[in-house]
Amino acid sequence: MPEPPEKQAPETEALERRAADAKFYLTIGSWSFIFLGIILLLSALLFHLPPNIGAALIIGSFCYVVPGLVLFLWGLVKVFRGKDLSFTLVWQSQFERKDLRKTVKFLLFVSFFAVLLILPWLIGVSLSDLMNAIIDFTVAFVGPLGLFIGVFFIGIFGNFTVLFPIPYQAVLLFIALQDWFTLTDALLVALMAGLGATIGEVVAWLLGRSQTEALEDSSTGRRIMKIREQAERGYGGILVFLYAATPLPDDILLIALGAMKYPLWKTVVACSLGKIVLCLFVVFGAQLPFLRLILVQMFGGGSDPIRETLYLVVGIAVILLIFFVPWSQYGRRLFGRKASGKS
């Protein structure tokens, strides 16, 4: 028996909306970033530029290509996991002008942080040198306490660039390897750097919070908003802590939590604890030879696009697995079958 027209209309509208979302991510939503990244990369490789300008363009290309690839992969996921969704239907759909406006805003946002990242390279200063200069300045201006003020500021500086981490842990590792470094210094450095890192990460939460209305207008956004109940059951705080205490990109998680209006104070508490644990691991691990080698590989090599991309992919995968896979349904099926088998 065919379904009544009034029931078919909402289903058709939802299908067209999901198809339009997928087309947006697979086309203009992703390729605008990838195209800009390729232009910057070709400019660095084809033209005879000074080394510092070439390095700045390569880093800038990475800033655009990574978000573009993530958006493109997300579009593929939407097609393959969508019911009754095909590439033919996706291609025939039409996304709205407001999607283009969102793309422009996001491009401007990414460009802002890209400029912040490549500016030190343009003037011939590495990010590590810049962070060390911040500490040297605060020590010279304030005295011995300037060390802790300095690591507080580099904690902020190393975490306020969304999706593109700055290796501030390398500076902590360098400080921890000094002969004068004591237990008290380690505790204070970890505390101040962790608090600074938390302030920097709040930018990601605020970014997500500012995009709440935009996300509510898309099927992907509405799916993100549905995970609020899971976050409020305790998963949100635990995940923020785990991401903050590891090299995984917690910006992705904080943007999602901000979009779903997850309480800022809970985010700050969990993020602070995680960042302090991470900084303690760095400064105390530097005193142990076997851990020192691991830390140098993780944080001591400066900015590594391959490593950061790997962290980004793994971080997104963990969030998708936890929030978007219906584990409760699988658990009920698994244990229900076992119970029925026993009976």
Nearest-CA neighbor of 268 among 190, 209, 200, 210? 200
Alpha-carbon gap, residue 309 to 246, rounded angstroms: 15
Q: Are residues 88 and 130 in the same domain?
A: no
Q: Where does a domain end: 123, 157, 179?
A: 123
Give the per-residue pLDDT at 161: 66
Distance in angstroms (rounded) separating the CA atoms of residues 192 and 155? 8
For 136-173, letters b (16+ CB in 10 Å) and e give: eebbeeeeeebbbbbbbbbbbbbbbbbbbbbbbbbbbb
Give per-residue pLDDT as tens, 212-249. 665 555 555 555 555 666 666 667 788 889 888 887 77
78 and 218 in a single domain? The answer is no
Residues 117, 131, single domain; the answer is: no
Residues 100 and 146 in one domain: no
Task: Supply the range of the domain harboring residue 262.
Answer: 126-343
Q: Residue 306 half-sphere exposure, CB side, CA atoms within 13 Å?
A: 2
The answer to whether the Cα torsion of 219, 224, 227, 229 is positive or negative is: negative
| 271 close to 240: Cβ distance less than 8 angstroms | yes
Same domain for 47 and 130, yes or no, is: no
Q: How many CB atoms lie within 10 A of CB 134?
A: 19
Q: To which residue do tokens 């979009």 refer?
A: 259
Domain boundary among 91, 123, 155: 123
DSSP 247: S
On whether both 238 and 142 belong to a single domain, the answer is: yes
pLDDT of residue 315: 58
End residue of a domain, out of 123, 158, 179: 123
User: What's the pLDDT tens digit per position in 244-286?
Assistant: 888 777 777 787 788 778 888 988 999 999 999 999 988 888 8
pLDDT confidence bin for 194, thresholds 50/70/90: very high
The total number of structural domains that make up the chain:
2
- Reference 266, options 211, 205, 322; nearest CA is 205
What is the pLDDT at residue 75? 82
Number of H helices, E strands in the chain: 18, 0
Query: 158 and 104, same structural domain?
Result: no
Judge if 158 and 101 occupy the same domain.
no
